[in-house]
Amino acid sequence: MKKSIIIVTFVLISISLFADFSFFPENPADLAQRDYSQITIPGVSYELSLNNTFLRFDDLNLFQKGRRLSESEKNLLTNEDITVFGNFNTSLVNFGHKNWNFSIKTLASCDIEVLEKMYTRFVFNGNESDVHYTGDNGEGSEALVFLKTSFDYAYPKPLNLGMIPGVFPSESNNGFLSGLRDLPIYVGANINLNYSLEYAGIVESEQHFGTLMDSTYYDIYTRFMNTDAESSGKLSPSLGFGLKIPFYSGNFHFNIDDIFLQLQYKDLEGWIYAKSATDSLHWLQPYNETIEHVNIENDTIRTKSRTVKINPSFTIGAEYQFFNKLDLMMRYTNDQFSYNNGFYTAAGIKLGGFPFQFGLGYRENVFFQIKTGLNFKKFEWMIGTTSYYGFFRYARGFGIQSAIRIKY
């Protein structure tokens, strides 16, 4: 089983090299200087990341039948909650002409708490007597899918701060102020229409259990909601804008997106799972009896609507080219629909029609990214892979990217 997982992982990585080699493709202001038309091929243009807080690929060896775990391996398995993160987006339509662009893409995201570390500790160490334990395993876990339609536009001519009356007087003899006044600034904006498609989430989760001198007991309560055939989505608008400031052989970038975005899912199906059990042994009884009660409800509970508020995503950074060949970039990103957040630095070089990019990022943990492909005047093919926490067998997750676009 472990061998099959590793083989599938490397096959996925090997077929996913990358297109669109821009370090800041999400900045609408980057369209201002585009002098061609382009169309992205759907079906092969996507981005996927999947990782967890718990296991590396190499840790699958710990679950081999008959293996005796060391103390350090037990500590590893009980050190953190098991949480799985995943993001996926794919382009359905993406085309543009010079300084405008139109796109439709599907985005999916999940954040699922699989198991609290308290429970894995019980597996190895057991629980203490006469202690009442409580947990909320899985509460807050959710997965959602929505459709995003965007129209991006960039003003084709540069602006400057001298256009603002009274801020930088034209008669100033200060060289620094004059340079700042005349610094070109490209601006762009985007309007988005977002349609909510699918949702599933654990709204409430409680566990109570303990071991007493004469009994053991546990109570489980979980409330779950999800979309079904009777559910419907809703259109919600959002906005974004960006700036691009050229300097010498580089550019400064800033953009923000998904302003005012709220996804609303209507008429959700609801589930309640409740289970309680008591195993009592009284000293007058020659036997013990387990009393168990299970209650599952799924046909009488519906939720009128579920609103998911999305934080605006933003990126700020700069890129610079050395010797007309080597591109260096540093940026900071905060995006709820991507795990490649935080500080990120990368270097890129193009050898003929073969570009290569190598990146290193850090937020809560380190991630590594490699991209390559083909880059010609009329055609681009990009594939990339991301490794989280470490490389290959020492990674806790992976990401893949792929895109093909034609320029004309």
- Render pLDDT for 373-383 as a digit per residue (tens, 0 to 9): 998 889 999 99
Question: What's the chain's average pLDDT?
Answer: 83
Q: Which domain holds residue 393?
A: 2-407
Question: What pLDDT score does 330 carry?
Answer: 94
Outline where 2-56 has alpha helix (H): 2-14
**pLDDT over threshold 70, residue 293:** no
Q: How far is CA 33 from the centre of its chain?
A: 29
Domains contained in the chain, number: 1
Written as six digits, the tokens of 290 are 């387990």
d(CA 23, CA 312): 20
Question: What pLDDT score does 195 carry?
Answer: 96
Going by pLDDT thresholds of 50, 70 and 90, the confidence category of residue 11 is very low
Which residues of 98-185 form beta strands (DSSP E)? 100-115, 133-135, 142-154
d(CA 154, CA 220): 54
Closest CA to 94 of 85, 86, 83, 106: 106
**What does pTM read for this prediction?**
0.83
Going by pLDDT thresholds of 50, 70 and 90, the confidence category of residue 295 is low
- Do 180 and 55 contact (CB within 8 A), yes or no? no
